[in-house]
Chains A and B, each alone.
Chain A
Amino acid sequence: NAGVMQNPRHLVRRRGQEARLRCSPMKGHSHVYWYRQLPEEGLKFMVYLQKENIIDESGMPKERFSAEFPKEGPSILRIQQVVRGDSAAYFCASSVDRGYGYTFGSGTRLTVV
């Protein structure tokens, strides 16, 4: 029973490029959360999605960031025109229902050069 799978584990992008981060939730989980951890900081909530729906995107920057969780396939966090300040670890978590019992993936470490 695989856990939450995130790929890639490490991603290097030049300024101005696009970054696509993927998250495959645990089997049977239909709720996905994305968090970002900047260096020397705690995790910051970005967005909460259910299949085909964005439920809470209050933590998403207003521009360049978007997220989706299609009916089939992984959840995608997309960052357009990346800047150095986007360098961070991005964690995805999934749960079988809304609430607090969710499992985190190992994260994607994005470096913008």
Chain B
Amino acid sequence: DQQVKQNSPSLSVQEGRISILNCDYTNSMFDYFLWYKKYPAEGPTFLISISSIKDKNEDGRFTVFLNKSAKHLSLHIVPSQPGDSAVYFCAASADSSNTGKLIFGQGTTLQVKP
């Protein structure tokens, strides 16, 4: 039962353009969402998060949008840089457990071409 889905395994964009990574979820109890970035042979690194009481959170070049009615979130990277090339995971949590347990999507590999 895949509660968090990233339906695009890969995405390729030109340097300077916008990258949009998408994520869908099925569990309406999720109330906190995160994006992680992962380089090969390294652990995931936290990028940005959003609470379910918000619909947008911005941090520099990274913006996360949340559409609760559609159970959909997206990560926008503007402008994209070659160093952004990595695997991006979205993750979700339900506060009811309060253990910090995260449910991850399968990941999307982003390639930013110079």
Q: Is B69 an interface residue (CB 8 A)?
A: no
**Alpha-carbon separation in the docked complex, A41 to B2 (Å):** 11
Cross-chain contact of B106 among A31, A41, A100, A104 (Cβ < 8 A): A41
**Alpha-carbon separation in the docked complex, A35 to B100 (Å):** 12
- Indicate if the CB atoms of B106 and A48 lie closer than 8 Å: no
**Alpha-carbon separation in the docked complex, A42 to B103 (Å):** 9
Q: Is A33 an interface residue (CB 8 A)?
A: yes
Residues of A close to B104: CB separation below 8 A: 35, 42-44
**Alpha-carbon separation in the docked complex, A100 to B93 (Å):** 9
- Indicate if the CB atoms of A100 and B34 lie closer than 8 Å: yes
CB B4 to nearest CB in A, in angstroms, measures 8
Q: A42-B105, A42-B107 are in contact. Are A95 and B43 (CB under 8 A)?
A: no
Total count of chain A residues near the partner, CB < 8 A: 28
- Indicate if the CB atoms of A107 and B43 lie closer than 8 Å: yes
- Indicate if the CB atoms of A31 and B100 lie closer than 8 Å: yes
In the complex, what residue of chain A is closest to B104 when comparing beta carbons?
Answer: A42
Cross-chain contact of A102 among B6, B89, B100, B106 (Cβ < 8 A): B100
Q: A4-B43, A101-B46 are in contact. Are A48 and B101 (CB under 8 A)?
A: yes
* Residue of A41, A42, A58 contacting most chain B CB atoms (<10 Å): A42
Q: Is B99 an interface residue (CB 8 A)?
A: yes
Q: Is A56 an interface residue (CB 8 A)?
A: yes
In the complex, what residue of chain A is closest to B41 when comparing beta carbons?
Answer: A106
Residues of A close to B96: CB separation below 8 A: none
CB B106 to nearest CB in A, in angstroms, measures 5
20 additional contacts, CB 8 Å, given A41-B106, A43-B104, A55-B99?
Answer: A40-B106, A42-B6, A42-B105, A42-B106, A43-B91, A43-B102, A48-B99, A48-B100, A56-B101, A58-B101, A91-B43, A91-B44, A98-B98, A99-B100, A100-B34, A100-B93, A105-B43, A106-B42, A107-B41, A107-B42
B positions within 8 Å CB-CB of A: 4, 6, 32, 34, 41-46, 49, 89, 91, 93, 97-107
